[in-house]
Amino acid sequence: MSVAAQSLSTDPARTRDARWTSALNALFAVLIVAATAEIVIDASAGHTGVVPKQPATAGWLSGLGVLLNYQIFLVALLAATAGYVGLLVLSRRGRWARMSPRSTIGLILVLHAIVFVGPILISTDVFSYIAYARMGVEHGINPYLHGPSVISRDPVFAYVGHDWRRVATAYGPIYTLLSYPLAPLGVVGALWGMKVMALLASLGTLALTWWCARRRGFDPAIATLAVGANPLYVIYGLGGAHNDLIMMLLMMLAVALSIREPHTSGREAGAGAAIVVGALVKATVAALLPFMILSRRRLAPVLGAVGALAVGALVGWAAFGVQGINVVAALNRDAAFVSTDSFATEIAHLFGKPGVFPVDHILLKAGLVLIVLHLMWRTWRGYDWVAASGWALLAISVTSTWLLAWYILWPLPLAVVSRDRRLLVATLAVQGLFIAHQMSPLLVPVR
Amino acid sequence: MSSLPSEHGGSGLLSRLPGPLRPRTSEDPGTGQMRLIETTLLVIVGLVLLIATVNDLSRQASANHRLQADLTTWRAYTGHDYPNIESDQELFGATSQKEVVCGNTTPGAPKSRTQICLAVWGPVVDGKRTVHGGWYLPANAEDERSLRYGCFGEEEVQELCAR
C-alpha cells in the first residue's frame, strides 16, 4: 500500500472526503457527457440555427432527439461548462481528490466518440474546406483565386456558409494539399475524412499535451483534462471539425521537440520546422516562432524554420502560384472582419459606439504589437517561451475583431504546460466570458 | 513564472552586452515588481472585459425583450398572426431603440405580398410598444425610401416616405 493510501485509510475524515470527491468527480464527468450527448443527439434531428445544413451523416441518431434550438444548446453548454469547472476545481484540492488518469482518459475518449459520430456543429467552415478541395481536384480551379461560388453546381456548394461563398481560401497551402485527397470521395466521404482528421489531430494534440506536461513536472492527467474535456474544445472545435486542431497538433509537436532533452540540433530544427508547417496549415501559429528563437538562441530552430519555409513555399507556389503563399494578404483580409462576439465589439458598445471603426483596428493592432514586443523582451531575459507564445495567441484572439469560439482554444494546450499559471487562469477566464456572452437568448425567450 | 536561479545565456557578442540587455536562460527572480505590474494590468484588462461582456449581455437581453414586444405589437395592430415578420433596428439609428417592423398584409411567403411596416418605440407595456406610424411596401420589395407609400402617423415617420 502506498503512503498516500495508508494515510487515507487511517484518517476517517479524509476517507469520507475522498468518497465525496470521488462521487462528485463521477457526477461532473456524467454531466459533461450527458450535456455533450444531448447536443449531439438533438443536432442529429436536423438543421437549425445551431446546426448547419449538411448531408445526413448521423441518420441513425435522428429519431432520438428533437431539433436543437439555441435555448437547449446553451443550457447544455452551461451544464458541460459547470461539469468541467467542477472537475478542475476538485483537481486542485490534491492528488486524492483528482480523477484517476485512467478515468480522465476514458472521459476524454467518450466525449470524442460522441462528437465524432454526430453531425457537424455550429459552423459551416468544414464545408468551405471541402469546397476548396473540390474546386482544386474536381474542377481544376485555384481556391486561392476564387470562392466556392464558382462551383455553384457542385453538391457541396449548398452547404457552404452564405458569407463565405465568394471568399477564396485563407488557409495555408499545406492544409489545402492535405484536404485534396478527400475531394474525390464525394461530399459525405470528404466530410467523414475531415472528421477523422480532426479526431486524430485532437487525440495527437492531447497525447503531446500529456507528454509535455509530464516533462515539465505538471500532472499530465490534469493538463490533458483541462484541454480534452473543455466544452469549447469538444463542442466547437471537434464538433465543427476545425482545421485549428491540425494547427494545434503541429504547435504541440514543436513544443515537445523543443523541450525534449537533450536539446539536439536535429530536435530544435524540427521544432522550428513544425511551427512553419503549422503556419502553412493556419498562419496564426507562426506567432510562436520569435519566442522559440529568442529563447533557444541557436541556429538550429532558425535553420529548421527557414528550410521548412523554403520547401513549403516552393510546394505552395508550384501548386497554387504566388497567391498560395501570400499568407499576409489572407490575414489582412480576415483581420478586417468584425464579429458580434469579439471583445472589441463589446468594448465599442460599452463606450456607446455602434461597433468597431477603422481607427479601432489600428489601435488594436498597435496594442497587439506592444504586447508581443514586451513578451519578446521578457523571453530574451529568460521568461518561459511556451508561456510567452500562449500569451501572444491569447492576445491575438482578444484583440481580434473577428473572434470565434475555436480561436480562444489556441493558447489552451500551451497554458496547461507553461510555467506561468496566470496564463491558464487568463485563458479560462476569456473562455468563460465568451460562453457568458452567448447566453442572451436565455435571458429573454425569442419566438 | 520561473524562479530558477538567474543564468546568463549569452555567448560571444551577446555576453558583451550590458547586464540589463544580456540574454538569460532563466529569469532573475528580482523583486517581483515586473510580475506585480503585469498582474495588475491583467486584472484591469480582465475587469474591462468582464464589464463589457455584462454590458453587452444586458444590451442584447434588452434588445431581445424589445424585439419580442415589437413582433407582438405588429401582430396585435394588424390582426395577423404571421410568423415571418422582419425588424429593422438601423433606420432610426442603432442606438435609438426605435424599430421598424414589416410583414405581409395577406398570407404568403415572406415579402411576396404587399407589406405593412410599423414604426414602433417607447416602453414595453403589457408586452407591446406604441405604434407611431408606418407605411406600405409593394410585394417583393425591400424597405427603400422610394418604394414606401401610404405613410401614416407622426411627422417623424412621415418624413421617411417619398410620397
Q: Residue type for A214, please?
A: R
In chain B, what is the straight-line distance between the N-terminal and C-terminal CA atoms, in Å?
A: 70
pLDDT band, very low/low/confident/very high, at A18 (cuts 50, 70, 90):
confident
Chain B residues whose beta carbon lies within 8 Å of the beta carbon of residue A345:
56
Burial of A366 (0-12, 13-18, 19+ CB in 10 A): exposed
- For the stretch B68-119, pLDDT in tens is 899 999 999 999 998 889 888 888 887 788 999 999 999 988 899 999 999 9
pLDDT band, very low/low/confident/very high, at A4 (cuts 50, 70, 90):
very low
- For the stretch A129-161, pLDDT in tens is 999 999 999 999 999 999 999 999 999 999 999
Q: Is B44 on the interface with A (CB under 8 A)?
A: no
Looking at residue B83, what is its pLDDT? 85
Q: Is the pLDDT of residue A445 over 70?
A: no
Query: SS3 for B67?
Result: helix
Chain B residues whose beta carbon lies within 8 Å of the beta carbon of residue A420:
1
Q: State the average pLDDT over residues A41-54.
A: 92
Note whether B27 contacts A440, CB cutoff 8 Å. Answer: no
Chain A residues whose beta carbon lies within 8 Å of the beta carbon of residue B14:
297
- For the stretch A75-115, pLDDT in tens is 999 999 999 999 999 998 877 778 899 999 999 999 999 99
Scanning B47-86 for CB atoms below 8 A from A yields 48-57, 59-61, 64-65, 67-68, 71
Looking at residue B163, what is its pLDDT? 56
To the nearest whole percent, how much of chain B has pLDDT over 70?
A: 90
Query: Which residue among B27, B49, B51 sits closest to A383, beta carbon to beta carbon?
Result: B27
- For the stretch A201-239, pLDDT in tens is 999 999 999 999 999 999 999 999 999 999 999 999 999
Q: Is the pLDDT of residue A447 over 60?
A: no
State the nearest Cα–Cα gap between B135 and chain A, in angstroms.
25
> Residue by residue, what is the 3-state secondary structure of chain A?
CCHHHHHHHHCHHHHHHHHHHHHHHHHHHHHHHHHHHHHHHHHCCCCCCCCCCCCCCCHHHCCCCCCCCHHHHHHHHHHHHHHHHHHHHHHCCCHHHCCCHHHHHHHHHHHHHHHHHCCCCCCCHHHHHHHHHHHHHCCCCCCCCCCHHHHCCCCCHHHCCHHHCCCCCCCCHHHHHHHHHHHHHHHHHHHHHHHHHHHHHHHHHHHHHHHHHHHCCCCHHHHHHHHHCCHHHHHHHHCCCCCHHHHHHHHHHHHHHHHCCCCCHHHHHHHHHHHHHHHCCCHHHHHHHHHHHHHHCCHHHHHHHHHHHHHHHHHHHHHHCHHHHCHHHHHHHHHCCCCCCCHHHHHHHHCCCCCCCHHHHHHHHHHHHHHHHHHHHHHHCCCCHHHHHHHHHHHHHHHCCCCCHHHHHCCHHHHHHCCCHHHHHHHHHHHHHHHHHCCHHHHCCCC
Looking at residue B61, what is its pLDDT? 86
Looking at residue B10, what is its pLDDT? 52
Q: Is the pLDDT of residue B3 over 50?
A: no
Distance CA B40, CA B20 (A): 23
Q: Is the pLDDT of residue A279 over 80?
A: yes
Per domain, the residue ranges of chain B are 57-158
- Count chain A–chain B contacts defined by CB atoms under 8 A: 92
Note whether B1 contacts A441, CB cutoff 8 Å. Answer: no
Looking at residue B5, what is its pLDDT? 39
Q: Residue type for A34, please?
A: A
Kindly report the length of chain B: 163
pLDDT band, very low/low/confident/very high, at A433 (cuts 50, 70, 90):
very high
Q: Residue type for A160, please?
A: V
A49 vs A424 pLDDT, higher one: A424
Element (H, E) at B61: helix B33-78
Query: Which residue among A297, A426, A447 sits closest to B23, beta carbon to beta carbon?
Result: A297
Average pLDDT of chain A, as a whole number: 92
Q: Before A173, cis peptide (omega within 30)? A: no
Q: Is the pLDDT of residue A293 over 80?
A: yes
> Closest-CA residue in chain B for A340?
B56
Bridge partners, residue B7, by sequence: B26
> Closest-CA residue in chain A for B60?
A440
C-alpha pair distances (Å), A320 with each of A143, A313, A422, B156: 8, 10, 42, 56
Instruction: Tell me the whole-structure pTM to 2 decimals.
Output: 0.87
Query: Which residue among A347, A384, A429 sits closest to B2, beta carbon to beta carbon?
Result: A384
Identify the residue whose cell numbers are 487511517. A10
Chain A residues whose beta carbon lies within 8 Å of the beta carbon of residue B49:
343, 346-347, 398, 430, 433
Q: Is B6 on the interface with A (CB under 8 A)?
A: yes
Strand ranges (DSSP E) for B21-85? 24-26
Note whether B26 contacts A439, CB cutoff 8 Å. Answer: no
Give this complex's ipTM. 0.89
Q: State the average pLDDT over residues A303-312.
A: 96
Q: Is the pLDDT of residue A122 over 80?
A: yes
Element (H, E) at B158: helix B155-158
**Chain A: residues touching B (Cβ < 8 Å):** 294, 297, 343, 345-347, 349-350, 352, 354, 378, 380-384, 387, 398, 419-420, 422, 426, 429-430, 433, 436-437, 439-441, 443-447
Q: Is the pLDDT of residue A269 over 50?
A: yes
Distance CA B41, CA B39 (A): 5
State the nearest Cα–Cα gap between A144 and chain B, in angstroms.
34
Query: Which residue among A343, A380, A440 sits closest to B49, beta carbon to beta carbon?
Result: A343
Note whether B52 contacts A380, CB cutoff 8 Å. Answer: no
Looking at residue A273, what is its pLDDT? 98
Note whether B1 contacts A444, CB cutoff 8 Å. Answer: no
Scanning B80-119 for CB atoms below 8 A from A yields 94-95
DSSP letter at B6? P
- For the stretch A165-190, pLDDT in tens is 999 999 999 999 999 999 999 999 99
Contacts of A404 (CB under 8 A, 6+ apart): A123, A236, A339, A341
Per domain, the residue ranges of chain A are 1-119
pLDDT band, very low/low/confident/very high, at A282 (cuts 50, 70, 90):
very high
